[in-house]
Amino acid sequence: MSPELISAYRPGSTLLHRIPAGPKLGLLAAYGVVTVVATGPWTAIGFLAFSLALVVWVRIPWRTAVRALRPLLLVVVLVTAFQVWQRGWPAAIHVVGDLLALFVAALVFTATTRIDALLDAIVRGLGPFRRVGVDPEKVALAFSLMIGAIPGVMTIARETRDAAKARGLERDPRALLVPMAIRTVAHAYDTGAALHARGIGDD
Amino acid sequence: MLRLDRVSVSVGTPDGDLVLLHRTTLSITERRVALIGGNGSGKSTFARLLNGLVEPTTGRVTVGDLDTVDDGPSVRRAVGFVFTDPGAQLVMPTCLEDVALSLRRTVKDKRERLRQARAILDGIGLGDKADTTVHALSGGQKQMLALAGVLATDPQVLVADEPTTLLDLRNTRLVADRLFALPQQLVLVTHDLDLAARCDRALVIDEARVVFDGRPDDAIAHYRASVDAP
Amino acid sequence: MTSTTRKGRRAAVSTTDLALIATFAALIAVCAIMPAVNTGSGTPFTLQMFGIFLAGATLGATRGFLAVVLYLAVGTAGLPIFTQGAAGPATWAGVTGGYLLAFPLAALLVGLVAARVARSKPARFVVIVSVVAAIVTIAVVGTLGTLGMAWKLDVSLRVAWGYATPFFVYDIIKGVLAAVVAASVHRAFPQLTARR
């Protein structure tokens, strides 16, 4: 019913798969800084080639990579044209090359990192914030609750849309959105009651 | 023992106070007690009082020595609650995680928690569904999973609010047989008069009052008569 | 079925609040990935911004802000719940990173005002929240989005602002929609604003 939520994670055993999620995110951030600091068209081409090599290394199928890049395509074309017109080819290659290099590297990150591994890393990273009132256990619960709630909310959205259609109101945004929002809030209160009934979150 | 001592429940609405339960005093010691009555009669409010999901406006509700208001967390640990719609009760992404959630308080080690959760799933015949999303289960499987999630907290009393209303006949039997096989005290809100007849005592609730209290056969007869009467 | 529990004696975020935050984060996700309402214009029209404004307008500042942060965290971790099925840190690395940063602030600011007027007449609530959402669209979402694009694309602020403006009209409409819907939600669930 929901093919929408297929994660881009691809199991594998390369070094990139095995680096823990937290440090890997750090590496990605560092890479971002490096692309900003190092300027020039040739370095940008080098970065892009490096990122693409990572794609080959962790075996992301090209079709997947291209599909992920699609939302960026229009921007890339527009910006290339604009930069070439304003400042010439070298500047265009520098800007667009850096952008794509970092974007592709981030795709590689997602392809080699399990969602729950990164969420666990976030929860661990929150440990030091315990003293300012952040409860990592509660954050972890929130992550699971949210992921658990998506299919339910999606069903609510679909049912209210069908209900509006059945009454010939599919063009009326209020007939679509008001019941969806109200049922979502009711669902949230039910979830809260269910958690309470199971004695969770009292302590 | 469950006890209601001069309990009433009302909520404020823009049109004035709405009474959900008029002043009621009674205690429940029987092993299995049924609550029957029409839609909106106050059955659910009554059931929710028993584990503190609804707090009394006046009076006290006690479970053993515990007060549902003052000892909320302990009461909720002692009294498990099964909802009508298991979809509302199953809150985690996968079956295994949902059962493991109930074990959070008692089993601190994550690996041990998952092991126990897996054993519980095996016990209700859902062992092969451990890693599937709870939304892929049938209605009956969902209710069995919800029940397993509640039982994993090892409650002394189980309150079930119309647990079979959304189920077909086969699944109703499956869930009911499981409920009646439990060693715990059971308070069962139900529209299924066959199930009510299997209890030791039945309360009929109408317009926010307990209007009959006694043997299930008599209670059912009273309820039928009240519906048939003009 | 709603319960009439009184709670919130200890924790800053109660169990009910946690459920509201998580469910609204899921709602924003569904709004972002749901096949869009057909506008006939060909622009990808999702309800993501509607979901964000709705979170603020219904839950108030704190819970609305946390719902959006939760949505962003889970999306960044790799669940494809950003618009067009995007996910992961790539979304931040792309040209729309500034917008992502603006989302929680938008919910916070709209929530701050909405919580104050939640108990007034629905018409007044709708007008005030719509106006605030429109101001936030331009002043916060537009500005941060523009800064993000100007930085990523290495273009002047004026050019980036030009890229951002076509979205304003849609987002302002979504703000009005969120205000209308939130007014109904507050009438259905007065307990949303109780004790806040």
> Domain boundaries in chain B?
2-85+155-228
Tell me whether C37 touches chain A (CB under 8 Å). yes
User: What's the CATH number for B2-85+155-228?
Assistant: 3.40.50.300
Q: Tens digits of per-residue pLDDT, C26-76?
A: 999 999 988 655 444 444 567 899 999 999 999 999 999 999 999 999 999
Identify the band that residue A4 occupies on the pLDDT scale cut at 50, 70 and 90.
very low
Note whether ipTM > 0.90 here: no
How many of the other CB atoms lie within 10 Å of CB of C16?
A: 21
Touching subunits of A (3+ CB pairs, under 8 Å) are B, C
Chain A residues closer than 8 Å to C2 by CB: 186, 189
Residue of B nearest to C19 (CA): B91
Distance, in angstroms, between C88 CA and closest chain B CA? 20
Q: What is the mean pLDDT of residues B174-198?
A: 92
Q: Any residues with CB less than 8 A from the CB of A124 and at least 6 apart, and which?
A: A22, A136
Q: Which of B11, B84, B91 has the CB atom closest to C4's CB atom?
A: B11
Q: Which of C84, C177, C182 has the CB atom closest to A173's CB atom?
A: C177
Q: Would you state the pLDDT for residue C21?
A: 96
- Given the candidates 3.30.160.100, 2.60.120.460, 1.10.1760.20, 1.10.3720.10, the CATH classification of the domain at C15-193 is 1.10.1760.20
Q: Angle B139-151/B169-180 helices, nearest 10 degrees?
A: 10
Identify the band that residue B145 occupies on the pLDDT scale cut at 50, 70 and 90.
very high
Chain C residues closer than 8 Å to A198 by CB: none
Percent of chain A with pLDDT over 90: 14
Chain B residues closer than 8 Å to C81 by CB: none
Q: What is the 3-state secondary structure (H, E, C) of B27-47?
A: EECCCEEEEECCCCCCHHHHH
Dihedral pair phi/psi, residue C173, rounded to 5°: -60, -40
Q: Would you state the pLDDT for residue C1?
A: 39
Q: Would you state the pLDDT for residue C36?
A: 55
Task: Single out the residue of C107, C105, C175, C87 nearest to residue C147, CA to CA.
Answer: C105
Least confident of A31-40, A163-172, B28-37: A163-172
Residue of C nearest to B54 (CA): C5
E strand residue ranges, chain B: 2-13, 16-28, 32-36, 58-63, 66-67, 79-82, 157-161, 185-189, 201-206, 209-214
Q: Tens digits of per-residue pLDDT, B3-15?
A: 999 999 998 776 7
Q: Tens digits of per-residue pLDDT, A81-137?
A: 888 888 888 888 888 888 889 889 988 998 898 888 888 888 888 888 888 888 888
| Spans of chain C, pLDDT less than 50 | 1-10, 38-43, 196
Tell me the pTM: 0.83
Identify the band that residue B26 occupies on the pLDDT scale cut at 50, 70 and 90.
very high
Over 90: is that where the pLDDT of B40 sits?
no
